[in-house]
Each structure stands twice: as structure tokens, then as C-alpha cells.
Structure 1
Amino acid sequence: MTLQDVAAEALRNSRVAYFSMEIALEVGLPTYSGGLGVLAGDTLRSAADMGVPMVAVTLAHRKGYFRQMLDSSGRQTEAPMPWSPEGRLPSAGAIAAITVQNRELLVRAWRYDIVGVTGHVIPVLLLDTDVEPNDSWDRTFTDTLYGGDHYYRLCQEAVLGLGGIALLHALGVQPEVFHMNEGHAALLTTALLEARLNGRPLNTATDEDVEAIKQQCVFTTHTPVPAGHDRFGYDQMLAILGQERTGIYNRFGGIHDGLLNMTYVALRFSRYVNGVAMQHGKVSQQMFPDTPIHYITNGVHAGTWVSPAMADLFDRKLDGWRADNYALRGIYGVEPQEIAAAHALNKQRLIETVKERTGVILREDVLTLGFARRAATYKRATLLFEDTQRLLHIAEAIGGLQVVYAGKAHPADAPGKALIHEVISAAQGLKQSPIHVVYLENYDMNLGALLTAGVDIWLNTPRRPYEASGTSGMKATLNGVPNLSILDGWWIEGCAEGSTGWAIEDGVNDEEEAVSLYEKLEKAVGPAYLDKQKWAKIMQHAIGINGAFFNTQRMVDQYICRSYRLDRSTLQPTALVAPVGEDTLVIPTSV
């Protein structure tokens, strides 16, 4: 069977439909902005490895997210990252029509095939409204990820939810489970209800009808930050979705504080709701007390994020780790110095990249911290510089300190942009000191892979409780890099103090937490780093304890059991007959 044949059969046999506004498929396709999209991509890659009968639905984002440029003072500017689906992907082979803004909107899709380690294929449908004879305005809905105003965003979410269901039906795909990865996809519940009513007015829907839709839908909420829960004005809802749909949201609880709230729509129409870490599940339950909220802790795809040097070591020592991530526990049978040697190669790659991009020459023998994530104020990128004199004292005591930053601020996020400027200003103020700080522009999957594998410590300083999970630190652990982090998100579950990393203790304000950060650097991290045998053992624990658990293989297995409620024995994946090779595999490039 060819890849095309396998993908077509996999699409027909899909039992789970995974909807996400963004999915990181590969570096060359700018269809993601950050953590949510990377998680979605990792989820699908592990599902493909495990043979889960799944199809994914997202938007094409023809103009991408954006390319970030930073000037010498740290001022961020942006440029589009356009790409052409026509030149890269095959058509999904169908066009569907939905009603939005009281007129017909045509939606087509392009297909991207994710191939797992056994040859199982998960098709990803990238929805596209750039179709004749759509109105010129309507044709832009699938252009820009997280761009435009609230009206544009609601139109996009209508395309994702309503258009995604219509396209699946046009292709003859009838999944059993619909997974909404964040509230952006919540309107799929309305599309399912309309399909069930089969032409009857929405106002005739009964509680029984709603319960039937609820039994098909599951929802993952990703953030305790209020801005992360999409809300739209009543007039926008009426203009875009129409009176009938508005009546449904009024009847069944999708309106909150006078606004259409996508999180509430998803909550009201889902039989299973989960947060993305143990702590996040508790926080979400407090936010939405009327709905039982569970948790499934996030993970990362080991085959994607393990560096080439570390993968070579694993391939030689840990048989079958790509198909069975729990095999990473076998790292305890590997000499710690072999792990340290693989990490040294990763650090050299990072240092070479920093030199190429910035001209700054970092040293291989100096403790190097990594901090890379979206430039949002609650992530507190500048907490490390709360007391630069204390930081200088620590650096002098341990033979120097190097810090590598990266991360984009949303184009409309002025405080986030200011944060980047502050980091770069701090770096310039430390030029004649034993501390070297660099900020690498245009953070993407490639750079994320280099950083999480090449630094010595992964630093994370969010303000509690706003870190739902965080996954960059999980990528670091797969490469033997311990974390130094606030006890929020996944790190509450992953921190074995002094073994997998260190916790920054809670304080009543930034100053107190900065003091804890300095205490850990000075009294724990620095001395451990200078003891090379001890440090190699810590790297071993990071892989064996954290890497073996915080991966999407374990995570997807929990979704299968808890959320999708599929019997593993009934899963019969479609796979390529011929061995999977470079001519058939579709993988993230250069990661």
C-alpha cells in the first residue's frame, strides 16, 4: 500500500477527531505559535506511533504566525511567514458549505500525513477558505493565526468548529469521539447538534439531544489565565452565528457575563473535561465549579525532541525506546559519563549556533541556563535580574554564568514586548562581567530543540498559578537537562529535589522568589555543576525519572483510557506494508 492509500484508509477508519486551532507539524509550516501547537503536534505523533485511529482538524494559516526580528535594543518587529498549501500538500478531496454571517461559506482542506514508527498514519486536515466563489473577506479567515480582531477570531473559530465537522461529513468520516484541544474548537458541538437535528430548527433541540452530543465530546482546557478563554460580544455572536445558534447558547449555558464564552460552550457539551497537569486540574475546578474537571498531565514526543547525540546513545543502549518510551528507565544501565559526553556535543551545537546568530562566544565549561517561552509578563523572564549584584556574586563563585533566552511576544502584547527589551537591556548592562546573556530571535521548533538539549539548566519562573503545565522543561529532561523552576504546572509532579532538578520556593512577591532562586543557584545548582560526577548522575535521573514519564506516549495512553474510553484491544491501526523509510516518512525537518 502507498502512503496515499494508507492515509485514505486511516481517514475512513478514524474513531477520534482531534480539533486544535494550531498544530506544529514541521518547522517549514508556520501553522503554530508555541506551546499549544507544539503539544498538539506531539500528541498526534505519539498517537501515530501507537496506532490510534485518529484524524486531526486545524486551519491552514496561509500567512503563518510571524517571523520575529529584534533590533539591538530589544525592540520586536514582525513579518508574515506566508506559505502555499497548494505547493506542499495534497487536497483532502472535498469541499463543504457552512452558514456564517448569514451567507454560505465554502471550506476545503489540505491533508498532511503524520507517519508513526510502525507506519500507522494520522491524517491532518488543514481547513482553507481561500476558495472561489467566497467573498474576498471570507477568504482571509484561514490566513493568520491569532491575528485580527475579535470579529475575525470568531469567524475563524466558526470555520474550525462548524467547517471542520462539515468537512469530515463531506469526506464520509464519522468519528465516535470529538476532542476539543482548547475552547477555540467549541463550535463543533453546535455543528454536531445541527447534524443530529437533520434540518429541524435548533430551538427544537431537547435535553436528550444535547446529552447525545455531550456523550461524543471531550474537552481539554489549557490555561488559568483569563485572556486565554475566548469571549465574544453578543452582537458579534448574532452577526456571525445567527439567531438560532445564539438561542442554543442562551438555553444551554454558553453565555457568561453577557458574552459568548467558548470555554463554557465546551464545558456544557462535553462528557469529560481535563486540565493538563495535576495542579492545573485543581485550579480549573476552582474556576469552573459546576463541572467535574479531571487532569491528564502533558508530555512531549520523545522521538522528536531527543537530540541526535542523545538519540544515538539511546539507540545503542535502550532497545525500542522510540516505540516504548518507558524504556528510557533503562538509562540506569548506562554509565552517567556517557550521558555527559552526549550532552557535551549538544552544548557545542548550541554554542556554535549562538556564535553564528549573535557573534557572542560562550564557553563549554560555564554553567549555562536556558529560558525560552512566549514573552508573557506572568512568565517573569526578568526575575533572574531582580538583584544583579547578588547574581554577580554567584557567578564569580562558580566560575561564571551564561544565560540563553528566546521567545516571541504576540504582536499586540505591548507588555510582553517590553519584557524582551528589559532582558536585552539587562544583558547589555552585564557585558563587562562574568555573566553573559544572549537573546536569540525567532524562537521556533529548531531553536527549541537546540536550547532544551544544549543548556545545562532549564529555568522557569512563572507567577503561580498561571503555568497550566509547561512542556519545554519536559523536552530538557529527555536530554538529561535538569530543571530549576517555580513549583507550578508539571514541575510539582516532576521535581525530585536535588535529583531531577530544584524547586524555587513560593514567596509572597517577586523579591522573595528571586531570593529563593539565588539561594538554589548559589548553594545547590552551582556546587552540583562543579562536581562533574554528581552532575552526570542528576542528568541520568532527569531522563530516567522525568523523561520516562513526561512524554506524549504516556499522555495519549491516558487519553485513550480516561477520555476517549476506547478499548485498546479494538484498535486496529492501518499501517504501511513496506518498511517506513525516508521516501515515505513525514517528520519535522531539522529538529
Structure 2
Amino acid sequence: MNNETKIAYFSMEIGLSNDIPTYSGGLGVLAGDTIKSCADLKIPLVAVTLISKKGYFRQDIDSSGRQTESPIHWDPSKFMIRISKRVMVFIEGRKVFIQAWSYKIKSITGGEVDVLYLDTDVEENTSEDREITAVLYGGDDSYRLKQEVVLGIGGVRMLRALGYHIKKYHMNEGHASLLTLELLLKNKRDVESVWHEQWVWDFDAVKDLCVFTTHTPIEAGHDRFSYDLVKKVLGDIVPLEQLKKLGGEKYLDMTLLALNLSEYVNGVAKKHGEVSKNLFPGYEIYAITNGVHSFTWTCQSFKQLYDKYIPGWANEPELFVRAETIPDSELWQTHLSAKKDLIEYVKEATSIELDPHVLTIGFARRFTSYKRADLLFLDMEQLLHICEKGKLQVIYAGKAHPKDGPGKDIIKKINDLVKINNDKIKIIFLKDYNIKMALKLISGVDVWLNTPQRPREASGTSGMKASHNGVINFSILDGWWIEGHIEGITGWSIGPKPTESSLTIVNDKTDAEDLYNKLENIIIPMYYHDQDQWIKVMKNSIGKIAYYFNSHRMMRRYVTEAYLS
């Protein structure tokens, strides 16, 4: 059925559209952009993920400003085709059957990528096992490990059952690391008997098949499971003493397992590669900086502008270097069109009317402490004083993980500030952040703000999306922005130069002071009094950032450096 040799791309979450809510944030959307670029570039790839029938969660905000969560119920049959083949894995000694749904990404170039969504909601399974693929990142450690068994082990078995010939298995973060054990079992050489200690494990054969991309230096992003739980869930799939050599002595570390059984390992920005080497000494870790799918993340008004002045941009985003050819007046009118679309969206969602002539800052991402969504408000008195030089509108959006109390506290803090009735600054929080809303935001604001604690932002991609729409970045020097930033040319930095290579303590006050200084003395005056210079920076954002920070460039590098090696 599938005679062509392919790359198998495994990701716990994949974000392709609002209609298929199988993503929580940047990791999933990056996976979606990866797949779309592979279709455009005709890279032979098949993707594997979980169906997440109850989604991540639907976010609401209660009367006190706190986040509440509820399931998102959606019907896969409306968007994809169920495959008749089933495979089986053992979980807690029980047979758990897995079916798959097929969703095809088709490009106008003629390329096509099949995305397989694994699903345990089948009649043969117990009611408990039918829920394994229900909630993305839900439940306790046991639930998460069961999901990773289905993704890693079940995913490899499904590809085999469907007749795929796989050249490389690309693990997008450590959630799929158990696929290495399935490959080990397939590649073992049986010396005497199936369960004899003298098995000879062909580690090199497995390493040669595996590519691993790590996405975060934050501890919460590296799954670890106790060996008691591993034994309970997995049984004796691999002898314990062997598993400890591969995944760690104290607990099964999914990142370590992937590191030990992958020939090619990379971080997602140059700085992240350096930080990852420091976190995991002794491992060769490369860096391929992330990118975004240009056509997906360019709003309609800018698509029309680029079609007029940069024909071919969608499949050759390197042509964005020609942004200088766009007349200033047309660029500005196109931006105002995107801004008015956002303002209409905000009014419909919140009944609050924003002013298209006021400097508008956007901040939207996962709400977790290290991203410091509230840094802008560290000194509210100073911020209001700055706003006397020019009014400000700030739009926020994003979700906190249901178990992230500090992240939820920041959302409440922002929503408390929303209630401030002030003619100098207007603050908006848009609930239930999703792909559709993201496109409105990254194209409709004037400035894109990012304030993570250095060096915890592995890459970040929202600022790349903003640049595709001429929106200017104002960000901490971390992740991709270290590479994309030229002070005053492509945007502005916040705080000191990025000298850290480990997770050191960051001074909020120092960063906030620089943020306030540049907002007061550079950004507000330029926006209100020097439109020619503002448009020049907008053009640089397109011509010096979007041309490079796109997923077409990213995937060409994966092909030549990881897949063909």
C-alpha cells in the first residue's frame, strides 16, 4: 500500500486547524507547520499523533477573572477517515487495541502528507482504556505513560500494519521516546531464547533510525516516570537493568531515552542548542532554528499585497527579501486593514471597542511563570506615566495548564487589570486562545511583545508569525530572537545580552526598566511621530526575518542534516 520510503514524524500534539483541537500550543502548531511544509516541498513524510477526542480544554474566565476548563467534544469522522486496520499493545497486562484515523494534508504543489491519529476508543477495550487518547496532557503520571505507550509503541506498530517503509523516525519532543524500545525489540538478535539475558541489543541499528528534537530546557517539559509505574504499565518489555542504562537509574527519563537511542539530536534555536548541551553534557546536540508556515501565518490582506509585489512568496519565502519593493503607503494601508479586522474581532468577543489609531501591543502564548506575561505591569505607576506620551492598547490571550496554579494566577492578575478604567491604557484578555485567534492577533497588532526569563525560551515562534505580517518584535533576547534581532532595524530587545548558558536567576526589575525605557523613548515616539521610520522597520521585519524564519527553510535543513545522514 505504501511502497515509498518515508520519514515518520511523531508528535503528541499536532495543530493543523481550529476544527481539529489536538494541540495545546507552540509545540503542536510547529508540528502542523512542519507537516504543511513537507506537503508543499513534497518531502515524503507520514505523521503520527493522538486523536485527543476531548481536546486540550476549552478555556473560560469566571467572574473573579480565573481560568476554568471544560472538555472540547469534537467528531473526527467529520474531518478524517477511520482506517480499518487495528494494532494491539499491552498496558498493565491487558490487551489494548488501537485504531487510526487518516487526515491528508494536500498542497497546491501536488505534495501530500498523511497524518495518523491514534485512538483507543474501540469496543474491545475496557472503559478506562477507551479514555487513554481522550485528553491531551490530561490525568496523572499513569495516564500520561499509557498515552506515550500508545503513541510510541502503538504508532510504530500501526505504521508497520499499514505497510509503511520508514527511513527515519523523528521524535518531536520526548513523548514518543518509547518507539525506540519497539525498534529495539524489532532489531534484536536472539542468541538463545526470547527472555534470556544474553540478548544482543542492536543499539546502532536503532540509533541509525532515530532523530530527536528537544524543545525546552524547562524541567516540566521532560517526562519522567518511576520504574514501579513503568513495570506496572509496560511489564517486562525490556529487562529493567537494560532500561535503566538507557533511560536513567532513578526513573525513566524520556528525554534521556531518546538521547541515548538517536543518531541525530537537535535543539530548536542556536542558543537552545547551547543550553541543551549544558543540560545534557556528553551528548552531541545540534541546532535547527524553528520556522513557521508562511502561507498559514500570513493574513488575507498581506497575502494579496505579497501576491502583487512578491509573486511566488508562499512556496519560496526567501523572496521576502524583496519587501523593499512594496510602496510605503500600500504597506501601511494593508496593516490598517489587518488591524481593523482584529479590532472588530475584539469588539465581537468582548464588546470593547479599540481605537485603530492607538499603538497596540499583543502578547499571546502559554501562560506559565517563566514567560512573565505580567512583566509589562511590574510598575503600573511608571507605565501609566509613559502612556501620557502616547496612548496604549494591550491585548492578551493564552491558556495555563489546568494544574499550573502560578500560571492561572497570572491570568487572574491580567483580568483584574482589564477592569481598570483608564483613558491612557486599555487592556484586553481574549479567552480560549486558538489558531484562528492567533492569526488575527499576530497580524493586527503593531508590536509583538515577548518577555520570557532567559534562557528558558527554547525558540518561540509567535514573533516569526508576526513578522510575516509586518508586525514589529519587542522581545527579550532569547530563543530565535537572538538570531532575528538587529536593534532598531528589525525590532527591539529587552534587557541585557544573552550570555547565560544555564538556568540562572533573572532580574525582573532590570528587564522591566529596559522595557519601559524603550517603550517611552523609542517605540511610542516613533509610532506617533515618525511613521516613515516605523514603516521601514516593518519592511525589515518582513525582509530580514520572514524570509529566513519559515518552516520551508527549517525542513530543508532537517532533510539534509538529519534525514539523509
TM category (shorter chain) comes to over 0.9
Do structure 1's residue 388 and structure 2's residue 387 form an aligned pair?
no
Matching residue's letter, 1:48: A
Does residue 419 of structure 1 match 2:419?
Answer: no
State whether residues 17 and 56 of structure 1, in contact with CA within 8 Å, keep that contact through their aligned partners in structure 2.
Answer: yes
Q: Which amino acid aligns with 1:225?
A: I
Contact kept, 8 Å, 1:202 with 1:244, in 2: the verdict is no
For 1:372 and 1:249, the matched residues in 2 are separated by 43
Contact 1:340 1:539 (8 Å CA) reproduced: no
Identify if the C-alpha distance between structure 1 residues 392 and 202 changes in structure 2 by more than 3 Å, giving closer, same or farther. farther
SS at match of 2:323: helix
More contact order relative to length (CA 8 Å, sep ≥ 6): 1
Q: Is the 8 A contact 2:189 2:200 kept in 1?
A: no
2:222 is the alignment partner of 1:229: yes
- Structure 1 match to 2:206: 213
Give the alignment partner of residue 449 of structure 2, picking from 459, 480, 497: 459
Cα deviations across residues 429-474 of structure 1 (Å, max 9, x unaligned)? 3x12310000000000011000000000000000111100000111
Work out which of the residue numbers 160, 166, 169 in structure 2 matches 1:178: 169
Alpha-carbon distance in 1 for matches of 2:562, 2:281: 19
Cα distance per residue 1:290-333 (max 9 Å; x no partner)? 21111000010001000000000011111111111111112121
Q: Give the superposition deviation at 1:98.
A: 1.8
Residue 93 of structure 1 deviates from its aligned partner by: 3.4
Query: Quick check: 1:523 aligned with 2:521?
Result: yes
Which residue of structure 2 lines up, in the alignment, with residue 54 of structure 1? 45
Q: Which amino acid aligns with 1:525?
A: I
Q: Secondary structure at the match of 1:314?
A: helix
1:583 maps to which residue? none
Question: Where does residue 489 of structure 1 map in the other structure?
Answer: 479
The answer on whether the counterparts of 1:117 and 1:322 sit within 8 Å (CA) in structure 2 is no
SS for the counterpart of 1:97 is strand
Superposed CA RMSD in Å reads: 1.5
When residues 81 and 14 of structure 1 are mapped into structure 2, their CA distance, relative to the original with a 3 A threshold, is farther
Per-residue Cα deviation, 1:549-579 (whole angstroms, up to 9, x for no partner): 000000000100111126xxxxxxxxxxxxx
Distance 2:333 2:313 in 1: 20
Cα offset for 1:73? 2.9
The one-letter code matched in structure 1 to 2:549 is F
Q: Offset of 1:475 from its aligned partner?
A: 0.4
Rate the CA distance shift 1:259–1:536 in 2: closer, same or farther, 3 A: same
Residue 248 to residue 15, structure 1, CA distance change in 2 (3 Å): farther
Match of 2:27 among 19, 36, 39: 36
Distance in 1, matches of 2:321 and 2:60, equals 41
Structure 2 distance, partners of 1:92, 1:327, is: 40
Number of the residue aligned with 1:509: 507
Q: Is the 8 A contact 1:306 1:479 kept in 2?
A: yes
Name 2:89's counterpart in structure 1: 98
Q: Once the 2 structures are TM-superposed, how far is the Cα of residue 204 of structure 1 from its aligned partner?
A: 4.3
For residue 177 of structure 1, give the secondary structure of its aligned residue in structure 2: strand
- Out of 310, 315, 326, the position equivalent to 1:318 is 310
Per the TM alignment, residue 88 of structure 1 is displaced from its structure 2 partner at its CA by: 2.9
Change in CA separation of 1:560 and 1:204 when aligned onto 2, cut-off 3 Å: farther
Fraction of identical pairs, as percent = 48
Distance in 2 separating the partners of 1:331 and 1:203 = 64
| Aligned with residue 369 of structure 2, among 349, 368, 377 | 377
For 1:402 and 1:195, locate their aligned partners in 2 and report how far apart those are by CA, in whole Å.
58
For residues 227 and 78 of structure 1, the distance between their equivalents in structure 2, rounded to whole angstroms, comes to 20
1:349 aligns with 2:341: yes
Q: Which residue of 1 aligns with 2:424?
A: 434
* Number of aligned residues: 553
Aligned 1:63-212 pairs, distance under 5 A: 63-197=54-188, 200-201=194-195, 203-206=197-200, 209-212=202-205
How far does the alpha carbon of each residue in 1:263-286 deviate from its partner, in whole angstroms, 9 at most, with x for none? Answer: 000000000000000100000000
5+ residue gaps in structure 1? 1-7, 567-591
**1:263 and 2:252 are equivalent in the alignment:** no
Which of 465, 478, 482 is equivalent to 1:475?
Answer: 465
The equivalent of 2:503 in structure 1 is: none
Aligned to 1:577: none
Deviations 1:120-153 (A, max 9, x none): 1100000011112112211111100000000000
AA of the residue aligned to 1:159: V
Q: In structure 2, how many angstroms separate the alpha carbons of the residues matched to 1:367 and 1:245?
A: 59
The answer to whether the 8 Å contact 1:252/1:268 transfers is no
Match of 2:83, SS state, is strand
Moved more, 510-519 or 528-537: 528-537
Q: Which amino acid aligns with 2:432?
A: N
CA contact (8 A) 1:349 1:450 kept: yes
Q: Tell me if the contact between 1:385 and 1:426 (Cα under 8 Å) persists in the aligned partners.
A: no
Residue number in structure 1 paired with 2:351: 359
Distance in 2 (CA, whole Å) between partners of 1:266 and 1:203 is 23
**Which of residues 19, 22, 47 in structure 1 aligns to 2:13?**
22
The residue type equivalent to 2:521 in the other structure is K
Structure 2 matches for 1:4-23, cutoff 5 A? 11-23=2-14
